[in-house]
Amino acid sequence: MKFFEYHFHGCAGHKTTELNRAAYEEMSRFLLEKGQTDGFLATFSAAPIANLVECLLFCRELMEGKPLGGASLDGVYLEGPYVHHAGGMTASLLAKPDLADAKKLVAAGRGIIRNIALAPELPGALELIDYFVGEGIPVSAGHFSCTADVLRKAVDHGLSGITHFCNNSEGDIKCILGRYSTEGPWLEVLGDDRLSCEMICDGVHVDRRLVKAVSRVKGRDKFIPITDGCAATGMPGKRLAFPDPAGNVSEFDVRDGALFVADTDLLTGSLSTMDKIYHNLVSFGAMTEAEAFYACSEAPRKKAGLL
């Protein structure tokens, strides 16, 4: 068993939205050869429901056919469309919770959807959490900015994870006369043992001291290191262009070991592979080698229901 990509959008110049076997073969081989990774979830960000259905059907067919030549496709992670803040997504493609559309996603992806991220503060989100959890699909809070009370209520409905913790809008920590508080759910995320936390451990998206602290607070099976890898991973060059799900071509800058929206400080995709994440966890002082291997291999597989 090698490492596992729990939250992954692409690499080697290809995006998971490229629905052809050749692209997936190249990503699969890159992950195994460059990242020491033998399994991954294809992650899809906000897109029209019809597009997401097409992605799910494609992944199902690929999983049922001849195995890929490198890392295996082991399921799908839907990062949207029911989120609040676009981040690196296309804002016009975000959607409000809709049960009828959610049923279309589940029908197309039954048995292969390993996680769905949504914003619990959106109207109708709790109903969707009830539905997805009832269908056996884990739900995480992602691209959100709810209050602690709303997050607590969502967890009571079955929400069980946080998508790339510290890269949403979880709120700032305040200190007044030695008393720490937050208007957002930051402390609630840390204090609720029912919640697992994904974290981008590339050393750019999250301060290494936070990686160390959160991994220790969450413990062995509730901390999921991720790359949030994008198509620019493994690509040469400082200015790259990729189409979004709406067909619009956007430009990005590679700097400081990560990907930024061109000419801005808006951080988007990571350029790390899971072997780098493993080494980071050790060098950050967050984990021993054995603990880091477990965190990068078995913990995400358990979270995805594969172990």
pLDDT tens digits along 176-221: 888 888 889 999 999 999 999 999 999 999 999 999 999 999 999 9
Indicate if the pLDDT at residue 245 is higher than 80.
no
The percentage of residues in the chain with a pLDDT greater than 90, rounded to a whole number, is 82
**Domain that includes residue 127, residue range:** 3-303
Task: Summarize pLDDT for 18-30 with one digit per residue, the tens.
Answer: 999 999 999 999 9
Report the pLDDT value the prediction gives residue 216, as an integer from 0 to 100.
97
Residue 169: is its pLDDT beyond 80? yes
Residue 182 CA from chain centroid, whole number: 24
pLDDT at 297 (0 to 100): 98
Tell me, what CATH number does 170's domain have? 3.20.20.140
Q: DSSP secondary structure string, 26-44?
A: HHHHHHHHHH-EEEEEEEE
Q: How far apart are CA 202 and CA 227, in angstroms?
A: 7
CA–CA gap between residue 34 and residue 49 (Å, rounded):
33
In the chain, the number of structural domains is 1
pLDDT tens track for 84-116: 999 888 899 999 999 999 999 999 999 999 999
Q: Is 140 exposed, middle or buried (0-12, 13-18, 19+ CB in 10 A)?
A: buried
Report how far residue 285's alpha carbon sits from residue 258's, in angstroms, rounded to the nearest whole number: 22
